[in-house]
Chain A
C-alpha cells in the first residue's frame, strides 16, 4: 500500500513527531508508515485522515499486488 503521508504532512508543515503526538503513536510508527514498512490499522488510518481533514482514500492507496 502506498501513501501520501509525507506530502500531506508537508502541506501542513508538520513533523513526524507532531503527527505522532496528534494520533497517539510513536514517531517511529509514522516513519514506518511513510516508508511503507508498516500498514496502519483502520482506526489509525482514520485518525490520520482526520488530522489532515480528508478521507482515508486520499492518503492511502492500494497497489496492484495488494
Chain B
C-alpha cells in the first residue's frame, strides 16, 4: 500500500533547495545593484544580456523555492499545491489576455509578454497562494 501512496506524490526537490532558492534569488540582483551603484557603462546588447541572465537566475531561485519539499509532505500539502498550481495557471492565462489590452489603453506601443514575465508571474502566484493556504489551514 505504501508504494502506491508514494506513486501519487509529486516529485519535488529536497527541502534544502528552499534555502538555495532564496540565496539564488538574492544573488541574482547583486550584480545589478553593483552595476547601478557604480555607474558602470554598458552597451545596449550587454545590458540586454545582463537583464536576461539576472531574470533567469531569479526565476531559477523562485522555481527552487516553489518546487522543494516541506518539512512534512502529506496528502494535504499535495492538495494545496494542486490548488495553488490551478490558480497560478488561471491567473497567468488571464494576465496574458488582459495585460496587452491594458497596455493598449494606457501605454503604447503594444508589447508582447515575454516568456520570462509569464513564468515569473506563474511562479509568484503559485508561491503566494501556496503559502497563504498553508498559513490558513
Contact = CB atoms under 8 A, between A and B. Distances in A.
A37 B77 CA distance: 13
Contacts of B128: none
Contact of B72 (A26, A32, A41): A26
Given A37-B137, A38-B137, A32 B5 contact: no
Interface SS of chain B: helix
B76 A38 contact: yes
Interface string B58-78: 000000000000011011110
A28 B7 CA distance: 23
A32 B74 contact: no
Contacts of A32: 76, 137
Interface in A20-41: 24-26, 28-29, 31-32, 37-38, 40-41
A29 B76 contact: yes
Contacts of B134: 28
Interface residues of A, number: 13
Interface of A: 24-26, 28-29, 31-32, 37-38, 40-41, 43-44
Given A32-B76, A38-B137, 19 more contacts: A24-B74, A25-B76, A26-B71, A26-B72, A26-B76, A26-B77, A28-B134, A28-B137, A29-B75, A29-B137, A31-B137, A32-B137, A37-B137, A38-B76, A40-B75, A41-B75, A43-B1, A43-B5, A44-B75
21 contacts: A24-B74, A25-B72, A25-B74, A26-B72, A26-B74, A28-B76, A29-B74, A29-B75, A29-B76, A29-B137, A31-B137, A32-B76, A32-B137, A37-B137, A38-B76, A38-B137, A41-B75, A43-B1, A43-B5, A43-B75, A44-B75
